[in-house]
Structure formats: C-alpha cells, structure tokens
Chain A
Amino acid sequence: MKIKKGFVAKGFVALATAAVLLSSAVYAKTLRYANQGDLKSLDPYTLNETTTNAHLANVYEGLVKRDRSLNVVPALAERWETPEPTRWRFYLRKGVKFQNGEDFTADDVIFSADRLRAPGSNHTTRVPKDAKFVKIDDHTVDVILGVPNPILLNQWEYWMIVSKKWAEANGSAAPTPANATTPSYISLNANGTGPFKIESHQPGVKTVFKPNAGWWSKPEHNLDEIIFTPIASDATRVAALLSGEVDLIEPVPIQDIQRVNSASNVQVLAGPELRTIYLGMDQTRDELLESSVKGKNPFKDKRVREAFYKAIDIETIKTRVMRGLSTPSALMIAPELFPLSKDFVRPKFDPDGAKKLLADAGYPNGFEVGFDCPNDRYVNDGPICQAIVGMLARVGIKLNALIQPKAQYFAKVLKPNGFKTSFYLLGWTPNTLDSHNVLYDIIGCRDDEKSARGETNLGGYCNKQLDGLSDQILGETDATKRNAMIKQAFQIAYDDYAYIPLHQQALAWGVSKTLKMAQRADNAITFGWITKD
C-alpha cells in the first residue's frame, strides 16, 4: 500500500511538472522582431553604428545609461562625484555579475577603458585619449582628465563594460580590427552584465536573446525570448508585420505608415528623431569644383547662401515628401538636445526675395552647381533632393544632382577624398547628444590640419569667434552660462547662413497591438521596456 501511495504521489508530481512545462510553453512570451539593419558584430567596440550599439546595449552595460527621455542615469556606477573639475570618482555597483558568473569589479572598468581606446576600436572618441583610470579599490575608480569636461558621461552609455578575465581567456583582449586575419571569439559571443543575454547569433540571419536571470536590477519587461531577424527589404518587413509573423519592425517606411495604421492588429509608433538633415555649401575653394561660375566661388557670398536658404519651401518638403513626419528646423541640432532652440525661427520661404538676392550678388540669371546626395541613408533622402532641385530651379539655380547610394556618396564627399563636393545633403546626430559636438565637428573651422575640429565640416565654413566660443563651452560647468554661450555660437552660424538646416526626420516603428513599449528619440529599441499581452 505504501509503495502504491508513493507511486501515485510521484505520478502527481510528474503530472504537475508536465502541466507547468506545458503552460509555460503556451504562455512563453516571445518577441519576434525585425529590423532593417543588422547586428553585425557582437564585439561592442568594433563598429560604431546605431543598430549595433542599440542592440548590444540590451546585453552589455556602461557605467551610466540613458532613460526613456535620454537623461543620463546610473548603471554599473552607482554614483559618482567630481572632487576636482579634472578628477571624477566613480563608485561601482556591488554584487553585479557578468553573465558567465564572474564578479564585476574596477579591473573590468580599467581594462575596458584601455580596450576602447586601442587600435581597431571604433569608439575611441568616447573616452578622452589622455584620461587616466586609477583603481582605488575593487569598487571605486578615479578618472583623471587633462582638461575639465562637463559632458564626459554623455557618450558613455555605449561604452560597454567587457569582462577582463573573460576577454583575456578567449583571446579577445584587443578589439577585432577590420584587417584581422583570425576570427575573434568576442565577435560571435557576448558576456555582458545587462538584462538580456545572447543565446545564439548568426550574423545577418537570426539572433536569439533570453532574459538574464541574474541581472542586478528588477526587470520591467515580461519577455521570455526575443527572436531578432534583420529584414532589409521594406515591403517584406511590412508584410511580416501585417501578417503577424513579427510583433515589431523598425523602421516603417513613410509610404507604408497609413497602411500599417489601417490594419486592425498593428499600429505605428512615431516620434521625432534627433538627427538633423541639412544642406551644406563649399565655402573654401576659390572656384567651385562643379559649377558654371568660373574664377570665383558664389557660396563665399553670404547673399547667395541666404538666397538658397530662402528658395527652399520646407513646408512642402514636410507635407509632400515626408508626409507630415518631419519637424522643420532652424538650428543644426534637434530641439530635444538644446533647451534654447525655440529662440530661433527659420527665415521665411521667399522665392522672390531669393531671386533678388541672387541678382544683387551678380547672378541675375542664376548659375549651375553640382549637388551630392545619398539615396539610402536618411528617410526619403533621394526624394528630398529631387524636391530641392525643383525648388532651386524656380529661382534660376540649376542643380546637377548626383543622387547615389551612401557607399559611393560618402566615398566622394568625405575628408579622405578631399571634400569633393560643392553642395550636399547630410544628416547629423551629435553622439554626445550635446551642442558642442555640432559646433566642433560640423560648424568648426577645419583650417588646422592637426586638429580634429571641423572634420565633418564638408563645406569648410569658418568663424574664429565661433571656435573660441566652442572652446569655452567645452570647459564650462555652469549649465546656464553654457547654454547662453551655445546660443551665441549658434546665432553666429545662423546669421552667416553657414548651413541650411532642413528638418529632424521622424522615427516610425511598426508595433503589434499586443505590445506596450517606450520609444526613445535616438531610435534605440530597448527590450527591457517591452511588455507583451
């Protein structure tokens, strides 16, 4: 009898276990997700690219991270202080473990700081070259800077901390360079401290994420698994969402937004993005490379730049080309990133005024100029350029547009090729999410060969007063003073018509109605904020 009882009890246990297994199989919440881009390498220092960074940030963590509205908040560093302007002290979170079970300590931070700045890393600018990392104890690190830097932490969300022991044990102490001759372990395997771990990864095919049960914080998601597939073809990605084969896609092409919204099971989650799309003009050369005007450079004349600006009907671009999904901009930075943006207003669209300005500058019949444009980099970039060609034709400017894929476009216009462009369209998100980066990289003078200032200033606009301001801004720690100086610097560029800002494009995600999620303006998809019904 006794034996029988035990047998029955065992049977019950088995049944109960089976039931639990079954129900968990039924209710397992799997997020199926497709992105246009790809998670190319799992080594968090190999590529500096939005899609790769954002996906890896679900697995690896930095000392700090950004919340839903992009504020810097503590992550692996619990708190920090600046005893001197050039010394930062970070108190590391205790009890944090890497996904392979190792403890996270100060050694990992110091190792990661060196690895990030080693040859082959594409993130070298995230941590100043001359910054020294000093271990105080296992959970305290001092960072000693050469010059004060109030925005030191701004780029540190994507400076992801790698385990020293693990990387060294797997021959991955150095970042994998592009000319590597042997494959690297770390580009196919991940070991972070983050809320998710990577269960399997086939580059360009499929990546499976699973929650990290040992994560140090309380999860806000209810997912059991995430299956990520890159789907490059727009039509296929939208079809996969509409047919319910995936729950989430990024991006939804502008022309499909209405179709997605009219379906019963899915919707579009749209919001402003941080990237500013703008036009630039070669103001350096004495004669433009591609123009009918010989012997002089019309863009050196401020009236010509103003005329170009006023000839562009930004509202038409917004309504016709962008289908309402853009925010016309007067500045070279998104309003979310600079609180005083609202003090600037775009000059009015005024084709007659533009014609008059051109006549005053000595071009009553206009002129011809080349126009470089990518067609697969920004939202509807090709059509925007076509619209601009039409708009400038109305004031007598004939643009010879060269609209080509980004690979060829960037090869032509960037610094390594000697900025071979006269007039171009480009987009920029400051990776610090701060104005200084725009003032330094895009608007700063590029006349000093040794300095990195103005490296992406393809047109070569230069104003020494603005440069002086941007140097002061870099070291200024008082926020009000700093913003006032930033405003002053932007005002100079605005008055000079240094650039023609167009708009901030919108981001659009296609989301199943069973999902609840937060959307961050930098287009990073954070799995930790997703719940599925």
Chain B
Amino acid sequence: MLAFIIRRILQSCMVLLTVALLAFTMFRFVGDPVAQIVSLDTPAEEVRKVRESLGLDDPVIVQMGRYLYKAVQLDFGISYQFRQPVIELLAERAPATLELALISSLLSLAIGIPMGVYTALRRDSVFARVFQSISLVGVSLPTFLIGILLIYLFAVTLGWLPSFGRGQVVTVSGRWSTGLLTASGLKALILPSITLGLYQMTLIMRLVRAEMLEVLRSDHIKFARARGLTTRAIHFRHALKSTLVPVITIAGLQLGSIIAFAVITETVFQWPGMGALFLKAVQNVDIPIMAAYLMIISALFVTINMVVDLLYAFVDPRLRATIKG
C-alpha cells in the first residue's frame, strides 16, 4: 500500500511538472507582458530594462526552473498588474470561489437527485418530460448566456436579486471572508450558484435517472418486490442507495471542475474569486498570477484524483489485491 501511495505521489509530481512546462510554453503566445506594464510612449531603453529585469529573454526552461525553484518555497512572485504577492491575492480571492463552488455543488445535488429519481420512476409523466427538456437546456446552453439571461430576468426586469458582486461579506477568523452570514451575501449567491451548478445538476439528474432505471431492473429489487416490501421502501431504501455510489464519485470529481471552471461565471457576475482574477491576468499577460492559478488548479485535480484512487482501493477488495500483487 505504501509503495502504491509513493508511486502515486511521484506520478502526481510528474503531472504537475508537465503542466508547468505546458503553461510556460503557452505564455509565449498570450502576448508580451512588458507591453502591458509600460505605456505606449515609454522610451525603448526603459522597455528593454523592464524586460531584462523580469528575465523574459531567457529560454522557457530557465524561466520555468526559476519559477519552480521559488514556487517550492511557496514564493509565487509578485503580480505584474497589482504589485502584490500572488499568494496573497489568491488567498484573498479563494473564499469567494470555494463558497460559490460549494453552494453550487450542494444545489446541484439537492435538486438533481430528486429530479433524477422522479424522471426514472414516472418516466412518462408530463413533469418528467419537462425535467428532461430543462436538463437538455442545462447541458447545451453556454454558462455565460445562462448567467446573462438570469441577470436580465431577476436583476433588471424583476429587481429581486443583485446582478453582480458578493453583497455584504464578513470576515471570520481573520482571513476567511464569507457571504453566507448576511442576507445580502446569501441573495448575491443565488444567481451565480444556479449558473455555475446548472450543468452539474443536469448531469447528476441524468446520471441518477440512468442508474435508477438500471438498478430497478436488477435482481435484488425483484427479490425485494417478491418479499412484499412497499414500493416506497424499494425505491428509496434499496434502489436509491445503490444508485448513489457512482453519483457521489461523479459529484466529488466534479467539485474540482466546478472550482476550475468558475472562471466564466465569476466574470459574468463580477464575482471576486480566483477565476475572475485569472481571466483578468490572461488579458493583461500577468504571468505570475496565471502560473500560480494553473499550478493550484492542477494540484487540486491531482489531489482529488489521488484521493479517489486511494478510496477505490480502500473500498474495493479486488483492487487492493492487484495493488499488493
């Protein structure tokens, strides 16, 4: 088991190194950071000095090495735009993104699972068809469009909910700014979390529906019926329970992508999270922020995947046997 874990950790490090290499190769094509730092009429001599001082003329591999050397000491550099340490900027923005991601995931589970169960049990009812069509919309409409439609309806036309920002936030334990404790903070969460969670919700609904249909056909449900259990007990105690294992796996894995892909939602709602910071950094060729964000997100994915792998091994005896062997 220990050998397996060490092997996985080494593999994860390789993945992170590859991401770093890809990222630094890509930075060549996002534009010239110096052109963003200086203004159009800055003398060429000054421009050259800035470029030199940032080490931008060095080969990609040297730039990357320098970056990684500092990054392992948790020094992610200073943002070109804000002249503030990147790690502080990201830490300041992280609570917004994590809260949004968490609420979206909860929302998608709380709505997606019942909808999935319903559409599986009442396959031909009108509501089931309505849910199915909604889920089609959720899967196919791009996030930014959903966001803008929601803003137009609920903020501009009806005036019920705010169109941007986090509302009133309070700081808990010195560092963590939360919108969950104020009325305006909660109101501000509604539209962005629906926008961000809609895709996951439809995904979970479809998954639950498919799994449920599958399980309902299986033998142990037939036996349960034969034993004379009530339909309610069969559906919710036995069928739903066995449906939830893959659902939880998917929801867990999706949490990573919700965090990573909050970029669009955050930009549409001016949500002050890490994603919006990243997008601004791309527009302004703020390499230190881009690099740190990409590394953090890939570290997140690698960690989630590793945990899932380990959990599988823990849960499934067959896998454990292979690992030992």
Task: Spell out A's residues near B (CB within 8 Å).
Answer: 34, 38, 40-41, 43, 46-49, 119, 122, 124-125, 176-184, 187-188, 202-206, 229-233, 235-236, 239-240, 242-245, 376, 405-411, 414-417, 428, 431, 437, 441, 452, 455-456
B53: contacting residue among A176, A177, A244, A417, CB under 8 A = A177
User: In the complex, how many angstroms separate the beta carbon of A411 from the nearest chain B beta carbon?
Assistant: 3
The CA-CA distance from A408 to B27 in the complex, in Å, is: 11
Identify the closest chain B residue to A246 (Cβ).
B164
Answer yes or no: B83 CB below 8 A from chain A CBs: yes
Q: A187-B83, A376-B283 are in contact. Are A415 and B44 (CB under 8 A)?
A: yes
Whether B43 contacts A407 by the Cβ 8 Å rule is no
Q: Which residues of A contact B285 (CB under 8 A)?
A: 407
Question: For residues 39 through 94 of chain B, which have their beta carbon under 8 Å from a beta carbon of chain A?
Answer: 39-44, 46-51, 53-55, 78, 80-85, 88-89, 92-93
A242 to B163, CA, bound (A): 10
**A187 to B84 CA separation, bound complex (whole angstroms):** 8
CB distance from B60 to the nearest CB of A (A): 16
Q: Is the CB of A243 within 8 A of B156?
A: yes
Closest CB in chain A relative to B187 CB, distance in Å: 12
Give the chain A neighbours of B54 by CB distance below 8 A. 178-179
Complex Cα gap A456–B41 (Å) = 7
**Could you say which residues of chain A place their CB within 8 Å of the CB of B36?**
407, 410
Report the bound CA distance from A233 to B81 in whole Å.
Answer: 19
Cβ-neighbour of B32 out of A34, A204, A411 (below 8 A):
A411
Q: Are A245 and B162 touching (Cβ within 8 A)? A: yes
CA distance A405 to B35 in the complex (A): 13
Residues of B within 8 A of A (CB): 29-32, 34-44, 46-51, 53-55, 78, 80-85, 88-89, 92-93, 148, 151-152, 155-156, 159, 162-165, 267-270, 272, 276-277, 279-280, 283-285
Asked if A229 meets B38 with Cβ closer than 8 Å, knowing A38-B280, A183-B85, A204-B276, the reply is: no
In-complex Cβ contact of B88 among A34, A183, A233 (8 A): A183
Chain A residues contacting B49 (CB-CB under 8 Å) are 119
* Minimum CB–CB distance for B287 against chain A, Å: 10
For A188, list chain B residues within 8 Å (CB).
84
In contact, B270 and A229 (Cβ under 8 angstroms): yes
Most chain B CB within 10 A, of A205, A376, A456, is at A205
Q: Kindly state the separation between the CA atoms of A428 and B53 in the bound complex, as whole angstroms.
A: 28
| Bound complex: CA A110 to CA B55 (Å) | 32
Contact A203 B163 (CB under 8 A): no
In the assembled complex, which residues on chain B have CB atoms less than 8 Å from the CB atom of A203?
Answer: 81-82, 84, 89
Q: Determine the distance from Cα of A40 to Cα of B277 in the docked complex, in whole angstroms.
A: 12
Instruction: Give, as a whole number of angstroms, the nearest-CB distance from A187 to chain B.
Output: 4
User: CB-CB < 8 A to B78: which residues of A?
Assistant: 178-183
Contact of B37 (CB < 8 Å), options: A122, A124, A181: A122
Contacts of A407 in B (CB 8 A): 30-32, 35-36, 283-285
Nearest residue, chain B, Cβ from A450: B45
Q: Which residue of chain B has its CB nearest to the CB of A263?
A: B156
From B53, B92, B280, give the contact of A178 (CB < 8 A).
B53
Please give the distance in Å from B53's CB to the nearest CB on chain A.
Answer: 4
Asked if A239 contacts B163 (CB within 8 A), the reply is yes
Question: Is A416 touching B35 in the complex (CB atoms < 8 A)?
Answer: yes
Q: A206, A410, A428: which contacts B35 (Cβ < 8 A)?
A: A410
Within the assembled complex, what's the spacing in Å between the Cα atoms of A15 and B46?
62
Give the nearest-CB partner of B38 in chain A.
A122
With CB as the reference atom, state the residue of chain B lying closest to A415: B44
Chain A residues, CB < 8 A from B280: 38, 204, 232
CB-CB under 8 A for A239 and B44, given A405-B31, A416-B51: no
Residue of A nearest to B270 (CB): A231
Which residues of the partner chain B approach A428 to less than 8 Å between Cβ atoms?
40
Distance in Å from the Cβ of B144 to the closest Cβ of chain A? Answer: 8
Given A236-B269, A452-B44, list of 20 further CB < 8 A pairs? A43-B83, A46-B83, A47-B37, A122-B39, A124-B43, A125-B41, A181-B78, A187-B84, A203-B89, A204-B82, A204-B272, A206-B272, A235-B268, A239-B151, A239-B152, A239-B163, A243-B159, A410-B32, A415-B47, A416-B32
A411 and B31 contact, CB distance less than 8 A: yes
Within the assembled complex, what's the spacing in Å between the Cα atoms of A407 and B279?
Answer: 13
List, in ascending order, chain A residues with CB within 8 A of B277's CB: 204
CB pair B155–A40 under 8 Å, yes or no, is: no
Complex interface: chain A residues within 8 A of B269 (CB) = 236
Q: Which residues of A contact B50 (CB under 8 A)?
A: 177-179
Is A456 touching B270 in the complex (CB atoms < 8 A)? no
Q: Report the Cα distance A178→B52, complex, angstroms.
A: 11
Residue of B nearest to A242 (CB): B156
Who on chain A is nearest to B54 by CB? A179
Partner of B163, one of A40, A47, A236, A406: A236
**In the complex, which residues of chain B have a beta carbon less than 8 angstroms from the beta carbon of A184?**
83
Select from chain A the residue with minimum beta-carbon distance to B158: A243
Smallest Cβ-Cβ distance to B277: which chain A residue: A204
- Judge whether B84 and A183 touch: CB under 8 Å: yes
CB of A240 within 8 A of CB of B85, answer: no
The residue among A47, A244, A441 with the most chain B CB atoms within 10 A of its own CB is A47
Complex Cα gap A46–B50 (Å) = 12
Tell me, rounded to whole Å, the shortest Cβ–Cβ distance linking B195 to chain A. Answer: 12
Q: Which residue of A lies closest to B77 (CB)?
A: A181
Nearest 6 A/B pairs, CB to CB: A407-B31, A411-B32, A48-B39, A205-B272, A410-B35, A203-B82
